[in-house]
Chain A
Amino acid sequence: MKTLPFEKPIEILYKELKRRESKGYALMGLDELVEKQIEEVYKHITPYDIVLVARHPDRPQPQDYIEKLFTNFTELHGDRSGEDDASIIGGTAFFNGNPVMVIGTRKGHDVKETLRYHSGMVKPSGFRKIARLTRLASDTLHIPIITLVDTPGAMVSAETEVNGQVSAIYSAISALLDANVPVISVITGEGESLAALSLTISDRLLMLKYAFFAVLSPEAASSVLFKNLDKKREIAKELHITADELLGMNIIDRIIEEPAGAAHRFPDIVMKNVKEALAEELEFVSKEKIDVLKRKRREKIRKAGVYSE
């Protein structure tokens, strides 16, 4: 497993213990020592460390949650305008026996997948697919929508710009604003910029403890404000991107716990936590009348922001 820079003390201890073990020392409670070290390291985690955890290649991604937590998933493809964006995975499925539309981003874990899904950077056809599946769930099937978000943002290239990237983002955002069914969103990893926004317009916004949600990546913010990438760590702190901070700011509704060591070490525990949280939230929104939900969704968005009069 790839060890993140701030996780070095865990690896050092682990190697040292293994070395001693190989020399024939009988070590009691090796696991416990490592566990303690993990806890110690994660106690001092910084916002930029969280960014790195959220991007860890072994961290479960939306397609993994779909595979493990949903049944009878039928993937639906295409934007009906000439393309199918592989960075967006969506379709009908059952969650806990309930029919839902699940839409997620897809980054990929290894080089081959990363290339195929272009690192989860969403293309115009991806945003159009989000809009299309949202309308299908809302206007035709009348089933709740669950979105799973882990994306470095909208793709920026000559091709995506001339294919109407900004226009496509508008269509995804307006479709979700208008959805006449409950929408639950979970930010599982990276939640960056307009792509993350377009999938988090929801009645309940959940976030994993070591995910982050930002107006733009700390790297991009550093590039804009300092003309280079050197200040990404400081800017990550200034931006207030962690689940704890965003809960305090009323941007998100709930934090889904992750053990120290995070989802790349303990995927099964985190899967279970996501499943429980989603089940509770789905039950909660299913009890509410849709016009009540929608009114609350609209009010929350109308009130967003801090300014002085």
Chain B
Amino acid sequence: MGLFNKKKVIVPVIPAESQDVKVRCTSCGRLIDYDALKKNLKVCPHCGYHFRMSAAERIALLTDKGSFKEIGSPISSVDSLHFRDTVSYAERLKKLRDTIGLPNAVLTGTGKIDGVLTSIGVFAFEFISGTLGSATGEKLTELFEFAGKNDLPAIVVFSSAGERIQEGIYSLMQVAKVIQAIEDYKKSGGFFISVLTNPVLGGPAVIAMGGDVIVAEAGSYVGVSGPRVSEQVMKRALPKEAQKVELLQKKGFVDIVVTRFQLKETLGSILKFYRRWSL
């Protein structure tokens, strides 16, 4: 009996090839047909739990069909410290390039949202939990520089477990680097919309707070660090509720909380106000 009662939780970030995979919802525990889940924008049809999306899925969700164009040169993460945890970082990176085909944890480009041209960056959680390494920091910085030069609004969709530990202090420096780019961009008249999805932790959460408008996907968690680190290192439990965007909205740190179904239209309607007067 025990064997059957055991909940097996599968959270596929990358679209599975097989047609008849069943997924158990992380939140309500019910079995969902994977195809049905995908058709429902990876939102549980029973309880509304938002499963993670890959960067490519996110782009498809938010930008008008066929409008997305990547910008800049491909910049790859490198194992600058010869870091080793369970496997070497170099091996980890090679494997990721072979499997998911991304050189770093962010996809940046331009695209239209409800007809409005914007620059957009999307964190790829499938790339080492969307952690912020040097290559990712450089791509984000270039995104804001590009948006400034081309007089475009900037949208960044965040989903990240924090800094890329395998890049040590270089990773921490990216937080300052990206904030500098954001501040320059905003001073030049730019308009930055942060989109928080589940989860956004550490440095990326700090960066996200630079948004002129901060939009969050329902049920996302945003904060300094995750519950396990807090419990093991700080020796005290961190109630998950404290990092929930619905609460952070009440406390004044998030402008809008919407479900995935309303996300594109919400961004589209905000974008329409940008420089409306000067058009």
Interface of A toward B, CB cutoff 8 Å:
154, 156-167, 169-170, 173-174, 177-178, 193-194, 196-197, 201, 213-217, 219-221, 223-229, 231, 235, 238-241, 246, 249, 251, 298, 301-302, 304-309
Question: In the docked arrangement, what's the CA distance between A166 and B207, Å?
Answer: 8
Q: Known contacts A246-B169, A307-B133, A308-B75; can you find 8 more A-B pairs with CB under 8 A?
A: A162-B242, A164-B209, A215-B169, A223-B232, A226-B85, A231-B85, A240-B168, A306-B80
B65 sits at the interface (CB 8 A): no
Q: How far is the CB of A167 from chain B (nearest CB, A)?
A: 4
Q: Do B170 and A304 touch across chains, with their CB atoms under 8 A apart?
A: yes
Question: In the docked arrangement, what's the CA distance between A283 and B251, Å?
Answer: 45
Q: Do B86 and A304 touch across chains, with their CB atoms under 8 A apart?
A: no
Q: Do A228 and B210 touch across chains, with their CB atoms under 8 A apart?
A: no
Quick one: given A162-B248, A164-B253, are A306 and B172 in contact (CB under 8 Å)? no
- B174 CB contacts on chain A under 8 angstroms: 304-305
B165 sits at the interface (CB 8 A): yes
Question: In the docked arrangement, what's the CA distance between A154 and B134, Å?
Answer: 22
Q: Do A158 and B239 touch across chains, with their CB atoms under 8 A apart?
A: yes
Q: Do A302 and B169 touch across chains, with their CB atoms under 8 A apart?
A: no
Compute the total of residue contacts between A and B using a CB distance below 8 Å.
191
- B251 CB contacts on chain A under 8 angstroms: 162-164
Q: Do B236 and A157 touch across chains, with their CB atoms under 8 A apart?
A: yes
- Measured CB to CB, the nearest residue on chain A to B207 is A170
22 pairs from A and B in contact (CB 8 Å cutoff): A158-B241, A161-B242, A164-B248, A166-B205, A166-B222, A170-B207, A170-B209, A173-B179, A173-B206, A174-B210, A177-B176, A177-B179, A177-B180, A193-B163, A197-B175, A220-B225, A238-B168, A304-B134, A305-B133, A307-B76, A307-B134, A309-B75
B198 sits at the interface (CB 8 A): no
Q: Do B138 and A229 touch across chains, with their CB atoms under 8 A apart?
A: no
Q: Do A174 and B169 touch across chains, with their CB atoms under 8 A apart?
A: no
- Measured CB to CB, the nearest residue on chain A to B137 is A305
Quick one: given A162-B242, A162-B247, A241-B169, are A298 and B180 in contact (CB under 8 Å)? yes
Interface of B toward A, CB cutoff 8 Å:
73-78, 80-81, 83-86, 104, 133-135, 137-138, 141, 161-163, 165, 167-177, 179-180, 183, 202-203, 205-210, 222-226, 228-230, 232-234, 236, 238-239, 241-243, 247-248, 251-253
Question: In the docked arrangement, what's the CA distance between A221 and B171, Å?
Answer: 13
- Measured CB to CB, the nearest residue on chain A to B181 is A302
Question: In the docked arrangement, what's the CA distance between A213 and B169, Å?
Answer: 8
Most buried by B among A178, A228, A235, A307: A307
Q: Do B238 and A308 touch across chains, with their CB atoms under 8 A apart?
A: no
Most buried by B among A201, A220, A229, A298: A220
Q: Do B173 and A251 touch across chains, with their CB atoms under 8 A apart?
A: yes
Question: In the docked arrangement, what's the CA distance between A216 and B228, Å?
Answer: 14
- A240 CB contacts on chain B under 8 angstroms: 81, 168-169
Quick one: given A164-B251, A239-B165, are A156 and B224 in contact (CB under 8 Å)? yes
Q: How far is the CB of A39 from chain B (nearest CB, A)?
A: 29
- B176 CB contacts on chain A under 8 angstroms: 173, 177, 197, 201, 301, 304
Q: How far is the CB of B205 from chain A (nearest CB, A)?
A: 4
- A169 CB contacts on chain B under 8 angstroms: 206, 209, 224
Q: How far is the CB of B91 from chain A (nearest CB, A)?
A: 14
Q: Do B138 and A161 touch across chains, with their CB atoms under 8 A apart?
A: no
Question: In the docked arrangement, what's the CA distance between A173 and B83, Å?
Answer: 28
Q: Do B224 and A161 touch across chains, with their CB atoms under 8 A apart?
A: yes
Question: In the docked arrangement, what's the CA distance between A169 and B224, Å?
Answer: 10
Quick one: given A177-B180, A215-B165, are A156 and B173 in contact (CB under 8 Å)? no
Q: Do B85 and A225 touch across chains, with their CB atoms under 8 A apart?
A: yes
Q: Do A223 and B165 touch across chains, with their CB atoms under 8 A apart?
A: no
- Measured CB to CB, the nearest residue on chain A to B136 is A307
- B230 CB contacts on chain A under 8 angstroms: 156-157
Question: In the docked arrangement, what's the CA distance between A217 and B170, Å?
Answer: 15
Return the contact of A214 from the options B78, B169, B247 (Cβ within 8 A). B169
Question: In the docked arrangement, what's the CA distance between A305 and B80, Å?
Answer: 9
Most buried by B among A159, A161, A304, A309: A161
Q: How far is the CB of B241 from chain A (nearest CB, A)?
A: 8
Question: In the docked arrangement, what's the CA distance between A292 and B234, Å?
Answer: 42
Q: Do A194 and B169 touch across chains, with their CB atoms under 8 A apart?
A: no
Q: Do B85 and A216 touch across chains, with their CB atoms under 8 A apart?
A: no
Which 10 pairs across A and B sit closest by C-beta, in order of nearness?
A305-B134, A304-B173, A158-B242, A306-B80, A307-B135, A225-B85, A161-B242, A215-B172, A167-B209, A170-B209
Question: In the docked arrangement, what's the CA distance between A292 and B226, Å?
Answer: 40
Q: Do A241 and B223 touch across chains, with their CB atoms under 8 A apart?
A: no
Question: In the docked arrangement, what's the CA distance between A35 and B172, Å?
Answer: 38
Q: How far is the CB of A13 from chain B (nearest CB, A)?
A: 34
- Measured CB to CB, the nearest residue on chain A to B241 is A158
Q: Do A301 and B180 touch across chains, with their CB atoms under 8 A apart?
A: yes
Return the contact of A305 from the options B138, B205, B207, B241 (Cβ within 8 A). B138
Question: In the docked arrangement, what's the CA distance between A165 and B202, Å?
Answer: 10
Q: Do A166 and B209 touch across chains, with their CB atoms under 8 A apart?
A: yes
- Measured CB to CB, the nearest residue on chain A to B243 is A161
Question: In the docked arrangement, what's the CA distance between A253 and B182, Å?
Answer: 26
- Measured CB to CB, the nearest residue on chain A to B205 is A166
Return the contact of B179 from the options A162, A174, A224, A228 (Cβ within 8 A). A174
Question: In the docked arrangement, what's the CA distance between A222 and B30, Å?
Answer: 34
Question: In the docked arrangement, what's the CA distance between A302 and B141, Å?
Answer: 8
